[in-house]
Amino acid sequence: MTQIDEFESLFKSAAKPIFEMEPMYFGKVLVILDRSCDQSSQYVADIRQFLSILNHIDHDVEIAVLEDSDYESVSGLLETIKERAPDIICTYRNLRIPATEFPYSLGVFVDVATQATSIPVLLFPRPEQAAEQQLDLTHPKKVMAVTDHLVGDTRLVSIAARFTENDGILYLAHVEDIRIFEQYITTISKIPEIDTDVARETIMKQLLKEPTDYIETCRHGIKEAGIPIRVESIVTAGHHLSDYRNLIRENDVNLLVMNTKDEDQLAMHGLAYPLSVEIRDVPMLLI
């Protein structure tokens, strides 16, 4: 390595993204049901309690409820959402579909709501599941932001911090995909000029260092913003879906926050869809 190359590497290593809280506003909430309000009074009350976290900053949050008689089709629902112009949508999987028949899908109404609008969707377990399993949907004390590229994602972290109750815990989790890493190492092993063992150690070390450093700036930025929560770092290498599933269970997470949109695709982003399909008893904020 030349002195110029070494200097360039040191310069790039020192240039680190710094987190700053983004201003967020969730003053208008739209709760979407596929039954009447009378049939879901306790469920709606639990959602209202869950959303009380927003009152710490957005005072007098307006919560409107849309029941089954207020819409009939996907297009009709989208038109109603457009008219109401909420800052966030609260609903559950398989709207107007028997969930027992399609347990491993979100349903067309939720799919379209997450992809055809720019509005975050807070996805709760279905009312009958919440009642049967006696799920506590009222307090997001342990929140986990889930992403395959945490560094620089200020919006994801900012929203996750906003939805963490005072004195709660925000887990910022980054799991480096070991399978993709091994594919690159296999390619590197075929290049005689590169020491494979050195590459394996140094590349993985750098891959884990970057999100670790970024989480430290998140911890500082959230504290500077006056948000009284604890930020915990989870940075590791593994197999994305299974490891995230284990982390969610091990830490007894009350809310997952995930990105769902890519600029170059219509389908739900990355890990969001398989996680939102498989983890059905934890509220999820899809942004």
Question: Parallel, antiparallel, or unpaired: how do β-strands 230-238 and 28-32 relate?
Answer: unpaired
Confidence of residue 269 (pLDDT cuts 50, 70, 90): low
What integer pLDDT is reported at residue 24 of this predicted model?
Answer: 84
What pLDDT digit, counting tens, does each position of 165-206 carry? 999 999 999 988 898 899 999 999 999 999 999 999 999 999
Give the up-direction half-sphere exposure of residue 242: CA atoms within 13 A in the CB hemisphere. Answer: 6
The domain 28-180+203-286 having CATH identifier 3.40.50.300: the answer here is: no
Tokens of 231: 């930020």
What pLDDT digit, counting tens, does each position of 10-19 carry? 334 545 789 9
> Token pair 């911090």 is at which residue?
161
> Token pair 């109750």 is at which residue?
165
String of DSSP letters for 223-271 = HHTT---EEEEEEEEE-HHHHHHHHHHHTT-SEEEE---BTTBSSPPTT
Asked if the model's pLDDT at residue 84 lies above 90, the reply is: yes
Asked if the model's pLDDT at residue 144 lies above 90, the reply is: yes
| C-beta atoms surrounding 222 within 10 Å | 25
What integer pLDDT is reported at residue 6 of this predicted model?
Answer: 45
What integer pLDDT is reported at residue 185 of this predicted model?
Answer: 96
What is the rounded average pLDDT for all residues in the chain? 87
Residue ranges of domains in the chain: 28-180+203-286
Q: What are phi and psi of 155, to 5 degrees?
A: -65, -45
**Residue 139 near residue 49, CB atoms below 8 Å:** yes
Is 163 exposed, middle or buried (CB count within 10 Å of its CB: 0-12, 13-18, 19+)? buried
Distance CA 161, CA 145 (A): 9
Helix intervals (H) in 87-224: 108-115, 127-132, 154-162, 178-188, 196-224
Three-state DSSP state, 198: helix
Q: Which helix (H) or strand (E) holds 10?
A: helix 3-14
**Residue 85 near residue 29, CB atoms below 8 Å:** no
What pLDDT digit, counting tens, does each position of 219-235 carry? 999 999 999 999 999 99
C-alpha torsion sign, points 114, 34, 123, 97: negative
